[in-house]
Amino acid sequence: MRPVKPVRLRDFIEDTDGRLYAVSVYDNDQKAGCVLRYVPDENGERMSSDGTRYKKYDFEQAFGYIRKYKPEYLDIVHRVPYDDIKRVLKPDEEIDKVTARDKRVKKLAGIFGVPKGTYGCTGSLLCGLENESSDIDMVVYGDFWFTAQKNLKMAVEEGRVGALSEDLWKKVYNKRVPEIDYDTFVLHEMRKWNRGEINGTYFDLLFTRGYDRLNSVVVNKGKVCGKKTVEGMVTDASFSFDSPALYCIDNPEVSKVLSFTHTYSGQAKKGEVIEACGVLEDHGSEKWLIVGTTREAKGEYIISKTLIENSS
């Protein structure tokens, strides 16, 4: 089935065999680009409201499963044809169902202070497969994200929502395994205002483009030119919290730095000088530096030199 509204990043789809996938790209015109997350399994640890049990798959497990059972879906992500899609779960359209059963999500929605239809909740809560250890993945669309970010910052400063504890910061750092040291990581993260704690549960505030700007940034694969470290002033950071995060920079060779790992989203602001290490790609008229070419982005990073210098 092809839905009335385009499939977009952070939606979930269910295929005709009941498997659930997280949509992970904006390029969904021909097929839905996603990653398998939940598979019906009578021994699964998650259970839906109708009693169906599911097994949750991490990134490597998901690709192993698709390689074995659905090799025709295999690509850089999993490409599911629209004829194989049973339904699409959209965070903004399902939010009332989620807030009805989860007071924490309802409270966060109120704190964000953005209009109905511009926010939602994705991940396990969207699928109705959350458990007591599940994080909360809130999503806000387009420029409304920046309003939600501002209101979240205010709520944390006023004590209405908790900032991350030292233990939780260390947990996030160890989970991400970034190439930068812990203090540098926290220095950058503390000013992003895109996460926090509510009633002891960790939550993220995630950015997704509005329908009017789905194709405003087209990301494609270029010719790989090898590893490189670059430095430059950020001239545009309006999509720095997107996926991939995008930084336009003033550099004689490289025009854009893209991060495919959430670790380096929102890492720098317009006017700041960044240092980035990644893989250089030739895109004809320009060259891009890609950070996050592997799952854990080994040897790749983005730092704001301006932020570091101003904090010392």
Report the CATH number that the domain containing residue 299 is assigned in CATH. 2.40.50.140
C-alpha distances in angstroms, 289 versus 49, 87, 250? Answer: 45, 36, 13
The yes-or-no verdict on residue 296 having pLDDT over 80 is: no
How many structural domains comprise the chain? 3
Last residue of a domain, one of 181, 211, 241: 211
pLDDT recorded at residue 32: 98
**Is residue 25 situated within a structural domain?**
yes
| Bridge partner list, 69 | none
220 pLDDT band, cuts 50/70/90, is: confident
Query: 249 and 162 in one domain?
Result: no
pLDDT tens figures, 153-168? 999 999 999 999 999 9
pTM (2 decimals)? 0.94
Instruction: Say whether 249 sits in a helix, a strand or coil.
Output: strand
Query: 286 and 237 in one domain?
Result: yes
Q: Which two tokens stand for residue 28?
A: 């969904």
pLDDT tens figures, 1-49? 788 899 999 999 999 999 999 999 999 999 999 999 999 999 999 999 9
Q: Which two tokens stand for residue 57?
A: 């798959």
Q: Is the dihedral of CA 14, 20, 21, 23 positive or negative?
A: positive
Q: Which domain holds residue 298?
A: 223-311
DSSP code per residue over 71-131: GGGBSSSEEEEGGGEEEEE-HHHHHHHHHHH-HHHHHHHHHHT--TTSEEEETHHHHT---
- Three-state secondary structure string covering 6-44: CCCCCCEEEECCCCEEEECCCCCCCEEEEEEEEEECCCC
Instruction: Say whether 135 sits in a helix, a strand or coil.
Output: coil
**Rounded Cα distance, 281 and 257, in Å:** 10
What are the residues whose beta carbons fall under 8 Å from the beta carbon of 76, sequence distance 6 or more? 221
The gap between the terminal CA atoms of the chain, to the nearest Å, is: 55
Question: Which whole number is the average pLDDT over 263-283?
Answer: 97
pLDDT tens figures, 234-257? 999 999 999 999 999 999 999 999
Query: 96 and 207 in one domain?
Result: yes
**Rounded Cα distance, 127 and 220, in Å:** 30
pLDDT tens figures, 138-155? 999 999 999 999 999 999
Last residue of a domain, one of 184, 211, 238: 211
Last residue of a domain, one of 89, 107, 140: 89
Query: 57 and 29 in one domain?
Result: yes
